[in-house]
Every structure is written in C-alpha cells, then in structure tokens.
C-alpha cells in the first residue's frame, strides 16, 4: 500500500497565519481555494449555502463551521475530481 505523506505548509494572509504539520487533512483555506477554482463568486455562494442530500440536508457552509472539513472535501472530490485538495 502506497502511503503518500502530505508536506507541512504555511499559508499567510494579512490577518491570519494557518499552518499544517502534515497529514492533518483539508483546511478551510484549501477547500475555499478549490471552490474558487471551480465556481464563480455567485456559484460558490450558492453551492456553499444550498442544502445537499449527501450532507443530510445541511449546507456545506454549515459543515465547515462545525469543523467537518473531511466531508466537504470528499464532496468536492466526488463532484469534480481532485481539485487540488
């Protein structure tokens, strides 16, 4: 079995610094970046706020606020391949 380890990363913005020590799973930043690559601003807003059957009738935004990033990342991968997550 091939286990590919994720590298450590640091992402900075004007106000925040987000770091990953590796294998921690997807971050909000990476999910939002993947959504921005796939959708326009309006389409991303609609997708994030639309209740989905795959999430039990909840929205991807609700799942992200609850810290359920793995589920949202899996949904993005399922909908359109890897998307860099």
pLDDT digits (tens, 9 = 90+) for 17-68: 887 776 667 888 889 998 999 899 999 999 999 999 989 999 999 999 999 9
Give the DSSP H or E segment for 45.
Answer: helix 41-49
Domain ranges of the chain: 25-80
Helix (H, G, I), strand (E, B) or coil at 49: helix
CB atoms < 10 A from the CB of 14, how many? 4
């Amino acid at each position: 079995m091939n286990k590919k380890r994720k590298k450590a990363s640091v992402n900075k913005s004007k106000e925040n610094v987000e770091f990953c020590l590796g294998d921690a799973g997807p971050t909000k930043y990476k999910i939002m970046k993947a959504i921005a690559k796939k959708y326009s601003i309006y389409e991303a807003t609609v997708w994030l706020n639309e209740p989905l059957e795959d999430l039990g009738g909840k929205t991807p935004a609700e799942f992200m606020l609850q810290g359920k990033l793995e589920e949202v990342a899996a949904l993005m991968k399922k909908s359109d391949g890897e998307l860099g997550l």
